[in-house]
A and B are shown apart, each in its own frame.
Chain A
Amino acid sequence: MREQLNNIKLEAEKKLNEAGSLAELESIRLQYLGKKGELTAVLRGMGQLSPEERPRIGQLANEIRSFIEEMLEEKTKALQEKERSMRLEKEAIDVTMPGKRRFLGKKHPLSIVLDEIKEVFIGLGYEIAEGPEVELDYYNFEALNIPAGHPARDTQDTFFINGDILLRSQTSPVQIRVMEKKKPPIKIICPGRVYRSDAVDATHSPIFHQVEGLVVDRGVTMGDLTGTLQLFARRLFGEDTKIRLRPHHFQFTEPSAEVDVSCWTCGGKGCRICKDEGWIEILGAGMVHPNVLKYGGIDPKEYSGFAFGLGVERVAMCKFNIDDMRLLYENDMRFLRQF
């Protein structure tokens, strides 16, 4: 019997070594270890053995069973691995085929610029204020130190609804509306639509966007204005950007300035974008005129402030190299999808 068992072991080992598939392994398992298997049959015959022999043969049979089981397991693992790697090989795909995209929409270039500006000023502690586009003459002109008949009114060709109501020609009226409601410290920007009766062409649009800024507090200086604008210009156009202030005249600021930023294309050396000037005019700014503070209900003896405004279209056109303003309002998908 011992011999019989050893034969089974040798035979099973040989078969297992030769087995090439999981199915073969299964039939080997059944052949030896199954209910009707050879090893099982041997064990069934153990009753005929002497009591002394029984434990010894029993132990041997168990050893052989473990041996076959272990070998089966090992062999199964190896074959599984082999089969998997064959499957993986077959499953290879062309990874350069186009991916399954969910096309996201694109933000309009004006929104991209507006959002960048908002982020800079929110970071500096500014709130975002809003005001009406259909506005009272009072807020658009009078309270900004531009009384009726003043020639400064002619420089902004204004759309009127009637004698008292107009389409705001600047975002500056929001300055007064904010001052009326809020006491200093005031730090706001106001992005919005403005209207001027310019015929549509490559560089003009009767509707465009401005961002107005206003800071009012005790002891606000023109140095604070230049510092703020310098920081803003660096954030928006790059850390190497310089600014330059030129004296100018606005009715609602005094002193007033036009602000140029160094050309971000040529860095100030002069190029097509900056018309060889090295500078690009981007902002109007100044210290809030004492009369304007008064109109806003703020005592100019106690407080001072600065204000600035910039055209969003102009920035967007410079930043994205857009040469025709009409593209911004035409909304051709092929244009919009580029941003």
Chain B
Amino acid sequence: MKLPLKWLKDFTDIDASPREYAHALTMSGSKVEGLEVLGSGIDGVVVGKILTVEKHPDADRLQVCQVDVGDGTIQIVTGATNIKVNDLVPVALDGSSLPGGIKIRKGKLRGVESAGMMCSIAELGLTKEDYPNAAEDGIFILEGDPSPGTDIKEYLGMNDTVVEFEITSNRPDCFSIIGLARESAATFGTSFRIPEVTVKELGEPIDGKVSVEIKDPDLCARYAARIVENVKIGPSPRWMQQRLRASGIRPINNIVDITNYVMLEYGQPMHAFDLRDLKGSRIIVRRAENGETMRTLDGQDRKLDESMLVIADAERPVAVAGVMGGENSEITDDTTTILFESANFDGISVRLTAKKLGMRTESSSRFEKGLDPENVINALNRAAQLVEELGAGTVCKGIIDCYPKKYQRRTIPFNPKFINGLLGTDISAEKMLEIFRRLEIEYDEATGTVIPPTFRPDLENEADLAEEVARFYDYNNIKPTLLEGRAATIGGRTRKQKIMDMISQTMLSCGLSETYTYSFTSPKVFDMLNLPADSPLRKAIVISNPLGEDYSIMRTTTIPDMLRVLSTNYNRRVEEARLFEMSYVYIPKSLPLTELPDEKPVLTIGMYGEDVDFYDLSGIIEELMEVLGIREYELEPAKDDPVFHPGRTARLIIKGENVGILGEIHPAVAENFEAAERNYIAFIEVEPLVRNAATERGYKLLPKFPAVTRDIAVLVDEGIPVRNIEKVIIDKGGRIFEEARLFDVYKGRQVPEGKKSVAYSITFRAYDRTLTDEEVSKAMEKITKALSDELGAQLRM
């Protein structure tokens, strides 16, 4: 909402600089978004009157003018052709400046002195839209009769500052000059007045000229109308045009300008119909019929439906209620009789209609916040008064006012103790009532209640009253306290949160840096992952109004996002990346969604680089298992996942439960993502880790007796994972087994084709005695035998 400060002065006198004013209003709750000093680029431009126009002696295209600029006559050379003697024009004097930082200096044109420049609208930073009568590319010929020497900014109404407010949805009343003036007066403690509105009503009585009927009073609480006859359409006066322009509204003609002016001033949108276009001289406020159409004032054909409220005549819709009028009843240059509409429409209905039709207007953005039905007549009368003042027509006697459901004013108990209790203040009841008085909130001493004005639908309860008190007391005068005297609480993290933090910390310690990626993605990623058509991962939640297809589904896997990050880095020539993310995947229980999905926390690791291989990845997982105290886990070869390399991938199994996958990305998938040749990714579900984590540590006695270590080397089939050998050793090592350490895997010379040699160093120890050779040998025999029986291993000596 733009507020020209000069307009504000019609209602209250505030003696503060624009900056001080903006600060004070912001601190009392009307947030100022910016200050615009009108014509701030223009300096030293005055009204000039052309006294003579002569041909330039040496240039056919130029003319030499003598121009009266108030305190003298100057000579100006111009190339413009649209000027004549007695024209009033803007003159940029020597040393003046124009918007865009242009400086004007006197000089010579083809040998003839020129002491300034006559300006076009573009040179003054104005547009043809604002001044439709101005010449497109000639000099701006001024209308009216300003005296020469007048500052052009004064003539154009630009010696003003416009304050732009952000109006929150709870304050429809502040969407008007009067509403902001009331807030301003309350903020500065100045007096506030609305000049009295009187209408002479010199025309015939309105009775019988038109009928108004509200068919859907649930969407239209009030509809009032006046008729103006003998209308003379023409431009509105300059002062009105200036105020409209400063407020960001284009002047059109006197009648339309009046409706806009009243809307800005009173916050009540209005509309004017050409009465001869209203068939049957009827106004019917009703829901549209499905399939009904209408062309709105902007020339668009609109398809209406029964959710929308329209203003209709006997035959057809003539306006979309509260949004925009119809072309079929538009004011035109030959309009002679008009009907002014001032009505109160349901905010939600207007908002949804405007949204559906894709046309939010000045009118709809006011109605949607819920306007005051008691303001309808004030606005209508103000419009009638302006018609008479401007001589735009004859106002008929009387008003048609359909007001089926009178507005019930609310009462709220006035409870200073509650207000002070909520704010933590000690403000007197008198002081509170003084604030209320300034805001036109009435107080009924008999019942101890306050009655908010009709234009404040936001005031519903005592907390609302507390805010009114607080914002004029100044929030920053409330003494800061810290819940003193309240029961202490013990803060902290839950077990799950702690374990998730431990996981992150472990990843950081393992050299992985943390990433954040979007949780929605493109459905194309499933094909890029080469997933089969029936993959459950494809069952993703679809966003109905996404930013685009690339952001249209909630991810069911984070692997594509990690691959993208790796690919981004790779394509930017980053040699190596080691990354992780703690995030969520969104798994629907059914599709379409009928209940909230599972949001599963997942750990994603991604790496590439010359020194990175599978064992870096599995090493990190092993480290993590150690930190979390998870012992019963296995890495099982996974050959069948289309995303991963069939020979370099493992599933992480904890107590028989599949909790994730880690490995090298399949080259075909890596290619789809334009990633490095080899990328290592782990995707691990976090909840099983939380469930299985044993973070409580107990101390185990340090060994007192020596260990015995024996080495063993066996030949086994190449395809047997070493983990299988290890399992046999652990299983058969008995109670004295302590540890088995793999120290060599060898293929090649002296090892038959298809075999590999695997060597372990096995440690035995008893906690209560020194082991004998025999005991250890017996255990070793058992191990060797089992290796041979179960895995066909041959002992190598």
Give the interface of A toward B (CB within 8 A). 102-108, 110-111, 118, 121-128, 132-136, 148-152, 154-155, 159-162, 165, 167, 185, 187, 193, 195, 197, 199-200, 206-207, 215, 217-224, 226-228, 230-231, 244-249, 251, 254-258, 287, 289-290, 304, 328-334, 336-337
In the complex, are the beta carbons of A332 and B569 less than 8 A apart?
yes
User: Which parts of B327-372 form the interface with A (CB within 8 Å)?
Assistant: 347-348, 351-352, 355, 368-369
> 3 closest Cβ contacts across the A-B interface?
A223-B424, A221-B424, A247-B29
Across the interface, which residues of B come within 8 angstroms of A136, CB to CB?
596
Across the interface, which residues of B come within 8 angstroms of A337, CB to CB?
513
In the complex, are the beta carbons of B510 and A257 less than 8 A apart?
no
Across the interface, which residues of A come within 8 angstroms of B421, CB to CB?
219, 221, 304
User: Which parts of B568-591 form the interface with A (CB within 8 Å)?
Assistant: 568-569, 572, 574, 576-580, 584, 586
Q: Known contacts being A249-B170, A331-B515, is A254 close to B475, with CB within 8 Å?
A: no
Q: Known contacts being A215-B483, A337-B513, is A134 close to B554, with CB within 8 Å?
A: yes
* Residue from B471, B482, B513 within 8 A of A333 (CB atoms): B513
In the complex, are the beta carbons of B516 and A134 less than 8 A apart?
no
In the complex, are the beta carbons of A105 and B514 less than 8 A apart?
yes
Min C-beta distance of B483 to chain A, whole Å: 5
A199 to B550, CA, bound (A): 12
Min C-beta distance of A10 to chain B, whole Å: 53
- B588-599 vs A, CB cutoff 8 Å, 1 = contact: the mask equals 000011001101
User: Which parts of B540-562 form the interface with A (CB within 8 Å)?
Assistant: 541-547, 551, 554
Interface of A is mostly: mixed
* Residue from A105, A111, A125, A154 within 8 A of B489 (CB atoms): A125
Min C-beta distance of A289 to chain B, whole Å: 7
- B12-42 vs A, CB cutoff 8 Å, 1 = contact: the mask equals 0000000000000011110100000000000
B408 interface hit (Cβ, 8 Å) = no
A161 to B516, CA, bound (A): 23
B772 interface hit (Cβ, 8 Å) = no
In the complex, are the beta carbons of A222 and B424 less than 8 A apart?
yes
Q: Known contacts being A162-B544, A206-B551, A207-B518, is A187 close to B169, with CB within 8 Å?
A: no
In the complex, are the beta carbons of A248 and B596 less than 8 A apart?
no
Pick from B464, B470, B577 the residue with the most CB of A within 10 Å. Answer: B470
Across the interface, which residues of B come within 8 angstroms of A336, CB to CB?
513-515, 579
Interchain residue pairs with CB less than 8 A apart (5) = A108-B515, A151-B347, A254-B467, A257-B475, A331-B569
In the complex, are the beta carbons of B466 and A105 less than 8 A apart?
no
Min C-beta distance of A72 to chain B, whole Å: 37
Min C-beta distance of B699 to chain A, whole Å: 27
Across the interface, which residues of B come within 8 angstroms of A135, CB to CB?
596
In the complex, are the beta carbons of B596 and A132 less than 8 A apart?
yes
User: Which parts of B492-541 form the interface with A (CB within 8 Å)?
Assistant: 492-494, 497, 504, 507-520, 541
Across the interface, which residues of B come within 8 angstroms of A134, CB to CB?
541, 554, 586, 593, 596-597, 599
In the complex, are the beta carbons of A187 and B491 less than 8 A apart?
yes
* Residue from A105, A133, A207, A254 within 8 A of B599 (CB atoms): A133
Pick from B169, B171, B584 the residue with the most CB of A within 10 Å. Answer: B169
* Residue from B352, B467, B483 within 8 A of A149 (CB atoms): B352
- B447-470 vs A, CB cutoff 8 Å, 1 = contact: the mask equals 000000000001001111011001
What total of A-B pairs shows CB separation below 8 Å? Answer: 242
In the complex, are the beta carbons of B592 and A162 less than 8 A apart?
yes
Min C-beta distance of A311 to chain B, whole Å: 14
A56 to B139, CA, bound (A): 140
How many B residues touch A, CB cutoff 8 Å? Answer: 89
Min C-beta distance of A134 to chain B, whole Å: 5
* Residue from A111, A199, A254 within 8 A of B463 (CB atoms): A254
Q: Known contacts being A149-B352, A160-B543, A197-B547, is A331 close to B463, with CB within 8 Å?
A: no
A197 to B520, CA, bound (A): 12
In the complex, are the beta carbons of A206 and B547 less than 8 A apart?
yes
Across the interface, which residues of B come within 8 angstroms of A290, CB to CB?
461-463
In the complex, are the beta carbons of A159 and B546 less than 8 A apart?
yes
Across the interface, which residues of A come within 8 angstroms of B579, CB to CB?
331, 333, 336
Min C-beta distance of A186 to chain B, whole Å: 9
A218 to B484, CA, bound (A): 12
User: Which parts of B597-613 form the interface with A (CB within 8 Å)?
Assistant: 597, 599
In the complex, are the beta carbons of A222 and B422 less than 8 A apart?
yes
* Residue from A125, A207, A287 within 8 A of B422 (CB atoms): A287
Across the interface, which residues of B come within 8 angstroms of A258, CB to CB?
31
In the complex, are the beta carbons of B493 and A132 less than 8 A apart?
no
From B595, which residue of chain A is reached at the shortest CB distance?
Answer: A165
Across the interface, which residues of A come within 8 angstroms of B574, CB to CB?
332-334
In the complex, are the beta carbons of B544 and A126 less than 8 A apart?
no
**Besides A219-B486, A334-B572, 9 other A-B contacts (C-beta < 8 A):** A107-B514, A122-B493, A207-B518, A220-B483, A222-B475, A230-B480, A255-B466, A255-B467, A304-B422
B85 interface hit (Cβ, 8 Å) = no
Across the interface, which residues of B come within 8 angstroms of A246, CB to CB?
26-27, 29, 31, 475
A107 to B512, CA, bound (A): 9
B233 interface hit (Cβ, 8 Å) = no
User: Which parts of B419-454 form the interface with A (CB within 8 Å)?
Assistant: 421-425
B565 interface hit (Cβ, 8 Å) = yes
A148 to B351, CA, bound (A): 11
Across the interface, which residues of B come within 8 angstroms of A118, CB to CB?
493
Across the interface, which residues of B come within 8 angstroms of A249, CB to CB?
168-171, 458
B702 interface hit (Cβ, 8 Å) = no
In the complex, are the beta carbons of B351 and A108 less than 8 A apart?
no
B797 interface hit (Cβ, 8 Å) = no
In the complex, are the beta carbons of B480 and A187 less than 8 A apart?
no
Min C-beta distance of B100 to chain A, whole Å: 23
In the complex, are the beta carbons of B519 and A133 less than 8 A apart?
yes
In the complex, are the beta carbons of B547 and A199 less than 8 A apart?
yes
Q: Known contacts being A134-B597, A224-B424, A247-B28, is A127 close to B492, with CB within 8 Å?
A: yes
* Residue from B170, B516, B520 within 8 A of A329 (CB atoms): B516
* Residue from A127, A152, A167, A197 within 8 A of B169 (CB atoms): A152
Across the interface, which residues of B come within 8 angstroms of A123, CB to CB?
491
